[in-house]
Amino acid sequence: AVYGQKGQKLLAQQYTQNPKLWFYPPPSRVGYLFLLSSTMRFFNNYSIAIGSRLSCFFSILSLLLLIVLGLRFFNKGTTLYALAFLSVSPIDLAIARRTWQEALVEFIATMMLLCTSEIIDSPSKITPLIGLIILGGIGLTIKASLFVIFGLCALFILWTLLFKHKLYKRVVFFLIFSALVTLISISVISYELGSFQMLTTIWTHMSSAMSKNTYAIQHQSGGLFTMLMSLWFMSPMNLVLFLSGTVMIISSFKLYAKEQPVILFLLFFSLALIFIASLTPYCQNIRYINATFIPFYLIAGMTLYSFINHFPINKWLLILFVTIIFLFLIGDYLMFYSVFIKKNFLDTALVIL
């Protein structure tokens, strides 16, 4: 924040020369560091509190994006339900209080999901396609997981454009423009760090250190079971509804593929990211999949909404449903308060929780 690019290069040099630093987030996340340092300079405040305020700001923006995505491709009831539960989500609230990249990751990832959904809904639109590619390039400078998220979106887009609508020219444009933006992003990162060799050195050190990171080994292992239990901790009722919705959508795959492909995409995206995090060594920490939180709550809300609509419900039964939902909302918030406020836990790994 004080020394600008010189400080970035110095940070990179210190990181590569000190093996103890390889266990910590790398300085190659120049996009986030630039945003953080620029905010510090703008407010003339160089305390770590600026980072937590940035996280809070982007968490609020993600709530607004949930509203846009929900009203665009779901319904008002589902959107309100998802908004309520994301607002009290223990993990999302914990992320909003910390100087982590995850709140920004969730915001950019949701923007990608919105762009991808628009492309799936209207393949002829060029603006969301360009927007998605630019977001992918920006994401690469912030955290590598955002490029994985971009890749998942790209897979579904290619399937839509290539096999469903046979828009071959659009596919070629997408691939060429994506490659160009990726090259620009890598060039920007390399410039900020001093050289491309410095970037590859940082990535090599970070990868090699992972298997020796005792914290990651002890707290971020366990595979798919750990990720599912983490989601259970975050919101048990919504995990049940999400899994029920998964069965419902898969059992009616052809119907959703034809009439509601966006919902099918959001489910595919969520499951894929959960599985990738589960299979990647030492990455079983729920905050690493916070990009799935909005689809998670929307699909859970859609499942409950569908269930209610398929059964005759009188006024008193509806009041009972609302009361139960309200109690689960309180329960989710109390979990956040108990773990992250009262006990002051500093991470979201399941073993710690």
**Residue 189 to residues 132, 181, 183, 227, Cα–Cα distance (Å):** 19, 12, 10, 31
pLDDT in tens, the chain (353 residues): 555 667 788 889 999 999 989 888 899 999 999 999 999 999 988 888 999 999 999 999 999 999 999 999 999 999 999 999 999 999 999 999 999 999 999 999 999 999 999 999 999 899 999 999 999 999 999 999 999 999 999 999 999 999 888 999 999 999 999 999 999 999 999 999 999 999 999 999 988 888 888 888 888 988 999 999 999 999 999 999 999 999 999 999 999 988 899 999 999 999 999 999 999 999 999 999 999 999 999 999 999 999 888 877 788 888 898 999 999 999 999 999 999 999 999 899 887 66
* pLDDT 10s digits, 136-181: 999 999 999 999 999 999 999 999 999 888 999 999 999 999 999 9
Look up residue 171 and give its amino acid.
Answer: V
DSSP state of 285: B
Share of the chain above pLDDT 70, in %: 98
DSSP state of 89: -
Neighbours of 323 (CB within 10 A): 10
**Residue 89 to residues 48, 117, 145, Cα–Cα distance (Å):** 24, 24, 21
Q: Residue 344: in which H helix or E strand, if any?
A: none
Q: Which DSSP string do the residues of 36-82 spell out, in sequence order?
A: HHHHHHHHT--STHHHHHHHHHHHHHHHHHHHHHHHHHS-HHHHHHH
Whether residue 302 contacts residue 118, with contact meaning beta carbons closer than 8 Å, is answered with: no
Chain centroid to Cα 269, Å, comes to 10
* pLDDT 10s digits, 30-63: 999 999 999 999 998 888 899 999 999 999 999 9
Model confidence, pTM: 0.95
**Across the chain, how many H-helices and E-strands are there?**
17, 0
Whether residue 297 contacts residue 238, with contact meaning beta carbons closer than 8 Å, is answered with: yes
Helix axes 30-43, 127-142, angle to 10 degrees: 80
